[in-house]
Amino acid sequence: MRGIFLLVATLMFVGMSYGQYGKATQSFDNVKCWAMLSIPGVTANGKPISGTKVQLSAAAGAGTNSAWMGDPTYDNAQFYRAVLKINGSTLIDRTYSLGGPVAPETLELTLDAPQQEMQFSQINSPPSIRFASTHFNHDSNVIIEVECWFALYESGVWTESVPVTTTITPKAFNKGMTYEHGDFAGLGSTSGGLAARIEMENMKHMEDEIDARNSTWTKSQFVNDLALATALHAGSHGVSSGLYDNYGSLIEPSDVYSSRAAAATNGVPPINVAFIDACYLGSNTTWLQNLLHPYSS
């Protein structure tokens, strides 16, 4: 047994390469094995993830190492096991049947709280899962690693097991903002802006350092901060054409669009959740559609 471990350790030094972000390829004599992690929009470390539908996909495969110049050592290589970790905690350790498809299944695993559904949706590949960015603090690194194991065959006999590991490191982006007109300052902590602020903080959204009861917030503050937000609560007076700040300046659809267009340009994720408490504003679909840019344009 000890000899096998030494052999595997020796093989692991042969030809590890990283080309496409999230993909690691490793050569074992004449065969080449690879593992890959991907999240839409995450093309480098530090790219933001946000919302309740962070879709993480994993894949694995094997082929011929064309750079090998000697006689073939192995005549086959098959993926059979995936170990998925987030920030060092093992969430999934799944062994697949060799040579056949894996039936999709659903497991409930605790990522943080509450429980999340982890979907094994790919055929004979590591799992594809969905999770919420609010399990992690705003602007924190989320280190995601998958270790894929392969069976190597000599003359049709499984003789070695080797791992290929790849890692991606996006950042959680959970930026909340709460604004409330001074006329609503007496609502207390169970409703309105203060209640929204408490709930956002419970969901690990980082709040702006602006008092939700402050009666001095302006249109320019709102528009500038909106360009950084992924969650919004706003309570103020409104009309069908827009939302008023504390001084009676109207925040119009064009203001909202320019703010969210700047957000998209600067790589800020779209708004995930918004609650606007303002008379008549709900009749202005353009204002609301612009808030959801680029989901809606």
Q: What is the CATH number of the domain that holds 192?
A: 3.40.50.1460
* Residue 273 and residue 224 share a domain: yes
Two structure tokens written together for 243: 């939302």
Q: Which residues make Cβ contacts (< 8 Å) with residue 103, sequence separation at least 6?
A: none
- Cβ 132 vs Cβ 174: under 8 Å: no
Two structure tokens written together for 290: 């612009």
pLDDT, residue 6, reads 22
* Residue 253 and residue 184 share a domain: yes
The mean pLDDT value for 26-32 works out to 92
The strand pairing partners of 141, in sequence order, are 171
* Residue 109 and residue 233 share a domain: no
Two structure tokens written together for 250: 């109207």
Say yes or no to pLDDT of 34 above 50. yes
In terms of pLDDT, which residue wins out, 185 or 17?
185
Rounded Cα distance, 129 and 58, in Å: 9
pLDDT band at 223 (very low <50, low <70, confident <90, very high): very high
Q: What are the residue ranges of helices labelled H in the chain?
A: 2-11, 192-202, 219-226, 253-265, 285-291
* Residue 164 and residue 56 share a domain: yes
- Does the pTM surpass 0.75? The reply is yes
pLDDT band at 208 (very low <50, low <70, confident <90, very high): low
Could you tell me the residue range of the domain that residue 56 belongs to?
2-172
* Residue 99 and residue 7 share a domain: yes
Rounded Cα distance, 187 and 134, in Å: 27
User: Residue 39: inside a domain, yes or no?
Assistant: yes
In terms of pLDDT, which residue wins out, 129 or 263?
263
- Cβ 135 vs Cβ 127: under 8 Å: no
- Cβ 222 vs Cβ 291: under 8 Å: no
In terms of pLDDT, which residue wins out, 286 or 14?
286
Most confident of 91-95, 126-130, 203-207: 91-95
Q: Which residues make Cβ contacts (< 8 Å) with residue 267, sequence separation at least 6?
A: 47, 48
The strand pairing partners of 243, in sequence order, are 238, 251
pLDDT, residue 275, reads 87
Q: For 92-106, 172-186, 204-218, 267-281, which range has the lowest pLDDT when averaged over its residues?
A: 92-106
Say yes or no to pLDDT of 263 above 60. yes
* Residue 245 and residue 118 share a domain: no
pLDDT band at 44 (very low <50, low <70, confident <90, very high): very high
* Residue 218 and residue 122 share a domain: no
- Cβ 75 vs Cβ 35: under 8 Å: no
User: Residue 81: inside a domain, yes or no?
Assistant: yes
Say yes or no to pLDDT of 143 above 60. yes
Say yes or no to pLDDT of 47 above 80. yes
Task: State which of 118, 143, 172 marks the end of a domain.
Answer: 172
* Residue 68 and residue 51 share a domain: yes
* Residue 256 and residue 167 share a domain: no
pLDDT, residue 127, reads 53
Q: Over the stretch 94-138, which tens digit does the pLDDT of each residue have?
A: 887 665 444 433 333 333 333 233 333 333 444 567 888 988 988
pLDDT, residue 266, reads 93
* Residue 188 and residue 152 share a domain: no
* Residue 250 and residue 130 share a domain: no
Rounded Cα distance, 11 and 64, in Å: 15
Domain count for the chain: 2
Share above pLDDT 90 across residues of the chain, in percent, rounded to a whole number: 37
Rounded mean pLDDT of the chain? 79
Two structure tokens written together for 98: 């060799």
Neighbours of 135 (CB within 10 A): 19
- Cβ 180 vs Cβ 234: under 8 Å: yes
- Neighbour-count burial of 13, counting CB atoms closer than 10 A to its CB (0-12 exposed, 13-18 middle, 19+ buried): exposed
Rounded Cα distance, 54 and 117, in Å: 12
- Cβ 174 vs Cβ 231: under 8 Å: yes
Q: Over the stretch 161-198, which tens digit does the pLDDT of each residue have?
A: 999 999 999 999 999 888 888 887 666 666 777 778 78
